[in-house]
Amino acid sequence: MQKRLKPIKVIRSKEKLSNRIGVPLIEELVRKFRLRERIDEEFGKPGSNRGIIASDYIMTLVYMFVDGALHLEDVRHLMSDEAFQEMLTDMKLPTSDAIGDWLGKHGGKSSETKIFGVIKQLLTGLSKQGEILDIDATIIESDKGDSQKTYKGSYGYQPLLGIISENGIVVGSDFREGNVSPQSGLVEFIKSCRKNYPQAIKMVRSDSAGWQKEIVDYCQEEGLDYTITTDQTEGLLEVIKSIPEEEWTRTIDKDGIKDNYEVAETEYRFGSKKRTVRIAVKRTRLKKQYDLFLNYSYWIVATNLSKETYDSQAIIELHQGRGLMEKKIGELKNQLNLDKVPCGQFDANCLYFTIGLLAYNLLQMLKYSGLPKEDHNKSVRTLRYQLLKLAGKVVFHARYLIVQIAAPLKNIEMFNAVYYRLRYSPLPA
């Protein structure tokens, strides 16, 4: 017999309930590294005693990114959540109009430097080492205001990002117009990434935008290793085609199975100074012959790594690790919604985007400071599902706050472990 579906009656609960119970974890990180104080040092005090301070604007946006907000108007979801506001540390939530005005007033290229000053302070507690810097540009499509036409034909912006391969930390950003060449200003960008990162960067990896004499010379002068995808110019292809056939080696994967490509290496002299660089080449036989004289497709990597340390196959595999950066950029754009910008001004969008990177780095630090090693690869979406966007009830007592979590026991145990690690583990020296 089918069970009868009873009618329901909806009433508003008077208890302080929220589906953002993970707030105290973010607040502990912010408190531990004194990020609010650093933000207010960087951006200064408001013009009025009744004005909202910079740290309230920025942390409101951080919580919106963590929450998965799509528009500035989504701040109203935070403002209507009484339990969420009770868990915050003496913080005022600005309206969407106020946020837009503040971004326009304080945005611009200088705001990038200020936000990365905050990020640098956060990274002093970074436990997971990393020494490989991946640089790449991405396109954010936007038809608002002053956006420019990109090389792909769409309108928008083209931020350049620097990400540490081993830990996924974003250590540099250059928010740029859509029509800026991906090759411009890369040496200065690498310098800024090294300045923002408290650990030593030992290797730079780049796509073909980095195939330029300035990058090669800078890495040589600074003692940095590099792997760079090269442009397939006529002169370079002639050098590669002159490699004797017997020097091409069929590669074997970790399981002992032959791959469908071959590798070889040579040297190439380029530029007015005739710099000599080592070239590792991957070639794959074309299934269809599109050109009478071309039987293979090539993937070419320039490097200064020694043959004793890395053979040609090892260089190809090392450089293929750049694929992880594409994954991280996808996470930024698709899980923190940084594929969209809300304003019609470049300066405002620059600051908005960089605050999104601060939110991302906070979540990365949450993993490395609070979670065991086997959970360090969790994505933003997984962190939301398992730790941050849990439902619960907030109850106040005289000396402490009780958070009653409505979730499976394993999630509650994870929450407890992360909270106590963040609150009571010692600060780094």
Ordered mean pLDDT values, 10 residues apiece, the chain (429 residues) = 80 86 93 94 84 94 95 94 88 94 94 96 88 94 83 89 95 94 93 94 94 93 95 89 88 65 89 82 77 74 92 92 91 94 93 97 94 92 93 85 90 93 79
Total number of domains constituting the chain: 2
Tell me what pLDDT residue 173 has: 96
Tokens of 355: 């605050």
Same domain, 270 and 312: yes
Does residue 168 lie within any of the structural domains?
Answer: no
Report the candidate in 77, 78, 104, 97 with the shortest Cα–Cα distance to residue 26. Answer: 78
Same domain, 345 and 315: no
Tell me what pLDDT residue 70 has: 92
- Report the Cα–Cα distance between both ends of the chain, in Å, rounded: 68
Tell me what pLDDT residue 293 has: 55
Same domain, 313 and 233: yes
Residue 135 and residue 65: Cα distance in Å, rounded? 23
**Residue 87 contacts by C-beta under 8 Å, 6 or more apart in sequence?**
18, 20, 21, 23, 24, 27, 394, 401, 403
Same domain, 309 and 350: no
DSSP state, residue 428? P
Cβ burial of 390 (10 Å; 0-12, 13-18, 19+) is buried
Q: Which among 254, 286, 319 is the end of a domain? A: 319
Does residue 384 lie within any of the structural domains?
Answer: yes
Does residue 126 lie within any of the structural domains?
Answer: no
Same domain, 368 and 312: no
Residue 29 and residue 66: Cα distance in Å, rounded? 14
Tell me what pLDDT residue 127 has: 82
Same domain, 349 and 312: no
Residue 154 sits at φ, ψ, to 5 deg, of -85, 170
Q: Which among 319, 352, 373 is the end of a domain? A: 319
Q: Which among 319, 352, 368 is the end of a domain? A: 319
The domain of 240 spans: 224-319
Does residue 407 lie within any of the structural domains?
Answer: yes
Tell me what pLDDT residue 253 has: 65
The C-alpha torsion from 383 through 388 and 391 to 392, rounded to 10°, is: 140
51 HSE (CA, 13 A, CB side): 14
Does residue 324 lie within any of the structural domains?
Answer: no
Does residue 330 lie within any of the structural domains?
Answer: no
Same domain, 273 and 349: no
Same domain, 310 and 349: no
Does residue 298 lie within any of the structural domains?
Answer: yes
Report the candidate in 388, 422, 428 with the shortest Cα–Cα distance to residue 126. Answer: 428
Tell me what pLDDT residue 257 has: 57
Does residue 173 lie within any of the structural domains?
Answer: no
Same domain, 391 and 310: no
